[in-house]
């Protein structure tokens, strides 16, 4: 869907929207249309709105960050109590917004690590050129861009030497170092108790859950689950979701449409319809339509106060300015109207040598 502006009516045709930047029109549309769909708020936008109220108290923002990214309700309640002690006004603001809107642990759906709208900002930056194009050219621009993106990522996924993607491999390396000192105690065939010295975890391999809720939210094994996998000699790859497997990503192929692109530069202006009325230019000088004041041929009329009068225009005929040609005097008799070649005092039957000067006589 392509929209000109963000209004409440425009957002009624979208699918599930779970993250946005607290735009008023989006919130109103969600409250009317999507009653059963929970929506979340961007962590960064909410943080920027809290800064003017804190007046340099950065410790509140640090606790807010921990409360937003923590995975358990117990840890979340501890961080909220800390915010209440430091700055009660910020605590009331977060409670009035709704804990499920901005916190990862209180969200009724899986939010993964998508706490901000950075992916939307990056996409808006990539489609800036398409905003000036007509609708058909803009759609072609977006299709070509997404096609190249999917193809490049499919090629990279095919060259990946590991079974999992880079993000999943980095997650495993970090969590594996944490779990080296954990102790695992079997409870049942698929349930294990993992003690890490601080927060113990109850791992259920069959349902792929843990009491720390990191496995539930990210769909990647947490440090407790990795310790269980090492204890039972289970492959780590089998505990990850299929979305982190490159083979699943490479199977998504986007084929180009069966069309031929027209030669030449794509048009940037929209083609008007037949019944569309064009807005004519109106001159601010004479008030006539069809031109502007830069190309106006009418003279401006100034009233007595010296200001420009654009309401009344009078066309005056342009008359040429008469020019007088300077007459030359004769070098012989010094009379205007002729020269020495046509002077009546000169005998033109005799050859003329030089122009007579003072002290010389002429041929009479």
pLDDT-above-90 percentage for the chain: 7
Both ends of the chain: CA-CA distance in Å?
104
Confidence at residue 194, expressed as pLDDT on a 0 to 100 scale: 92
Residue 60, pLDDT above cutoff 80: yes
Pairing of strands 191-195, 40-41: unpaired
C-alpha to C-alpha distance for 13 and 155, rounded to whole angstroms: 34
pLDDT, one tens digit per residue, over 238-249 is 888 887 777 776
**pLDDT above 90 (res 191):** yes
Distances in Å between the Cα of 128 and the Cα atoms of 3, 4, 121, 122, 124 are 14, 14, 11, 10, 6
> Mean per-residue pLDDT for 242-259?
71
pLDDT value of residue 351: 61
Q: Where are the alpha helices (DSSP H) in the chain?
A: 24-32, 43-54, 58-69, 73-86, 88-97, 99-102, 118-126, 135-158, 166-178, 214-218, 223-232, 246-250
H or E segment to which residue 268 belongs: none
What pLDDT band is residue 265 in, cutting at 50, 70 and 90? confident
DSSP class per residue in 125-169: HHTTGGGGS-HHHHHHHHHHHHHHHHHHHHHHHHT-SSSS-HHHH
pLDDT tens digit sequence for 204-224: 998 889 988 888 888 889 999
What pLDDT score was predicted for residue 11? 43
Lowest mean pLDDT among 147-156, 272-281, 283-292: 272-281
Taking all residues of the chain, what is their mean pLDDT, rounded to a whole number?
A: 76
Q: Is 282 helix (H, G, I), strand (E, B) or coil?
A: strand
For residues 114 and 102, what is the distance between their CA atoms, to the nearest angstrom?
A: 11
Long-range contacts of 136-139, Cβ-Cβ distance < 8 Å, separation of 24 or more: 137/266, 137/267, 137/268, 138/2, 139/2
Q: Is the dihedral of CA 332, 334, 339, 344 positive or negative?
A: negative
Q: What are 313's two structure tokens?
A: 């225009």
- ∠ at Cα 147 (144, 152), nearest 5°? 125
pLDDT recorded at residue 321:
60
> Who wins on pLDDT, 6 or 147?
147
38 Cβ contact list (under 8 Å, min separation 6): 18, 100, 107, 108, 109
Q: What's residue 203's pLDDT?
A: 92
Least confident of 94-108, 222-236, 346-360: 346-360
Q: For residue 357, is pLDDT > 50?
A: no
The answer to whether 83 touches 57, Cβ cutoff 8 Å, is no
Tokens of 88: 């009660």
Whole-model pTM over 0.75 = no
Q: Is the pLDDT of residue 22 over 60?
A: no
Q: What is the pLDDT of residues 293-340, one digit of tens each?
A: 888 888 664 444 445 444 544 455 555 666 666 777 888 888 888 888
Kindly tell me if the per-residue pLDDT of 193 is higher than 90.
yes
pLDDT at 30 over 80: no
Listed residue (98, 35, 89) closest to 68, CA to CA? 98
Over 60: is that where the pLDDT of 114 sits?
yes
| Count of Cβ atoms closer than 10 Å to residue 116 Cβ | 17
Residue 356 has pLDDT above 60, yes or no: no
Beta bridge partners of 96: none
pLDDT at 192 over 90: yes
């Amino acid at each position: 869907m392509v929209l000109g502006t963000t209004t409440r009516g425009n957002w009624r045709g979208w699918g599930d929207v779970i993250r946005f930047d607290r735009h008023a029109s989006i919130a109103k549309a969600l409250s009317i249309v999507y009653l059963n769909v929970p929506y979340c708020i961007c962590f960064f936008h909410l943080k920027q709105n809290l800064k003017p109220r804190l007046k340099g108290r950065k410790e509140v923002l640090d606790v807010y960050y921990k409360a937003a990214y923590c995975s358990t309700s117990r840890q979340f309640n501890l961080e909220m109590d800390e915010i209440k002690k430091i700055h009660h006004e910020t605590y009331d603001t977060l409670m009035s917004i709704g804990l499920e809107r901005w916190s990862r642990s209180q969200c009724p759906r899986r939010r993964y690590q998508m706490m901000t709208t950075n992916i939307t900002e990056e996409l808006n930056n990539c489609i800036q050129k398409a905003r000036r194009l007509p609708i058909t050219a803009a759609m072609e621009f977006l299709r070509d861009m997404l096609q190249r993106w999917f193809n490049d990522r499919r090629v990279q996924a095919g060259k990946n030497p590991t079974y999992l993607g880079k993000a999943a491999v980095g997650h495993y390396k970090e969590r594996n170092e944490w779990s080296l000192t954990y102790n695992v105690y079997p409870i049942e065939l698929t349930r294990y108790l993992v003690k890490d010295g601080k927060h113990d975890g109850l791992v259920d391999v069959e349902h792929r859950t843990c009491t720390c809720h990191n496995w539930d939210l990210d769909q990647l094994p947490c440090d407790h689950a990795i310790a269980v996998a090492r204890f039972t000699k289970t492959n780590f790859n089998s505990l990850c979701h299929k979305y982190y497997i490159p083979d699943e990503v490479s199977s998504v192929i986007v084929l180009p449409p069966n069309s031929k692109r027209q030669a030449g530069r794509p048009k940037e202006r929209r083609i008007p319809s037949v019944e569309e009325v064009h807005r004519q230019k109106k001159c601010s000088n004479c008030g006539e339509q069809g031109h502007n004041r830069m190309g106006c041929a009418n003279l401006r009329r100034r009233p007595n106060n010296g200001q420009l009068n654009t309401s009344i225009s009078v066309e005056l005929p342009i008359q040429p300015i008469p020019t007088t040609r300077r007459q030359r005097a004769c070098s012989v008799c010094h009379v205007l109207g002729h020269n020495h070649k046509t002077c009546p005092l000169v005998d033109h039957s005799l050859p003329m040598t030089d122009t007579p000067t003072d002290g010389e006589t002429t041929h009479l």
